[in-house]
Chain A
């Protein structure tokens, strides 16, 4: 069993325990998923306290939806789909109320290894954040959070081919901008 398989298997076991009403399994799920979910939510919202709120809302929604997780399917696509929904709902409601979330100083959020090796870390992070949100999402989900393109398709409602193309174009854009003078 590879490390990735073992990781997925552990998440499946925790989810089954959680569905059976085991609080300790929920605690373990929280501590395992907190960091990757936070990273994913940063692609939607650039505000530390908003991300923290969205993380809590995501876990509440995961709780409400816990019976819709069907073992032994991979947990991650199910979980990121709910997180994505929470984030989009937040953006929609802010648009409706015409509120603008003020940017705070960006924390030292990790960047995908595929992008990191393209150049200076700080510059790559800035270029990554300048990409359109769907492109950032695909890069983060694939290169950082380890989802396959098929799984990304199931999270975002796009085909696996479209996910692959978005990731490729996003990396190409970063590469091109690094090559640009003044990048």
Chain B
């Protein structure tokens, strides 16, 4: 023991790795990084793919407005995930529940709102093929934002990585669905619930399981 009561092994461990560190950027700066990637992906996707043919029938508020709103909600949820990844900034169960509830409800409300306005008779190639393509697109559009979120989370110190993963998956899923909303012409409730909302739920579960796995590995390492 030294004069401060600091045990020698601890003092040696700390002194051996005392390089100066830069504190994490503020939450809004970290979230901005994700937003830039999400906007870049959206712009690239929308520039390279045909928009849904019935988009002209929808009012701009319902068509573009809903997509932007969903994208913003996704970024907000990612912001919550980034906040949760810093010790001492834990979200309450109520906030987590609200984020999940509002995220999924927003997805459904947008479906219902656009369904009312959509002109019927959009040609389908077969519900399964179309559905799988939509899910694939949704995950593809969501993945860059998800990866940036994971990178930022890994650089922090999440104490509940499964919660962070769940929110990260939901946020990225919402952002991906916002883009998909402008491309997918099928707005039947069945199609959206199974293939769009389903893809979002899969991303959430993927995030949750990834977090659980991370926690298990970390626990094992600590035990060793």
Contacts and interface: CB of A to CB of B under 8 A. Distances in A.
Interface of A: 19-21, 23, 26-28, 30-31, 34, 56-57, 59-60, 63-71, 73, 76-82, 84-85, 89, 92-93, 151, 153-159, 162
B44 to A, nearest CB: 32
A158 B92 CA distance: 4
Chain B interface main SS type = loop
Interface stretch (B116-124, B153-161, B199-207): B153-161
A1 B203 CA distance: 48
A154 B83 CA distance: 11
Contacts of A158: 92-93
Interface string B203-224: 0000000000000000100110
Interface of B: 2, 4-7, 9-11, 13-15, 17-24, 26, 86-95, 156-157, 159-160, 219, 222-223
22 contacts: A21-B21, A23-B15, A26-B14, A30-B4, A30-B6, A30-B10, A60-B10, A63-B14, A63-B17, A65-B157, A67-B21, A68-B24, A68-B87, A70-B26, A77-B89, A79-B88, A81-B87, A82-B159, A84-B159, A93-B219, A157-B93, A159-B93
A153 B95 CA distance: 11
Nearest to A156: B90
Contacts, number: 107
Contact of A56 (B7, B21, B24, B160): B7
Contact of B88 (A23, A27, A60, A80): A80
Nearest to A21: B20
Contact of B90 (A30, A59, A154): A154
Contacts of A64: 157
A145 to B, nearest CB: 13
A21 B18 contact: yes
Nearest to B7: A56
A68 B4 contact: no
Given A56-B10, A89-B222, A157-B93, A30 B88 contact: no
Contacts of A71: 23
Contact of B6 (A19, A31, A77, A85): A31
A67 B24 contact: yes
Contacts of B95: 159
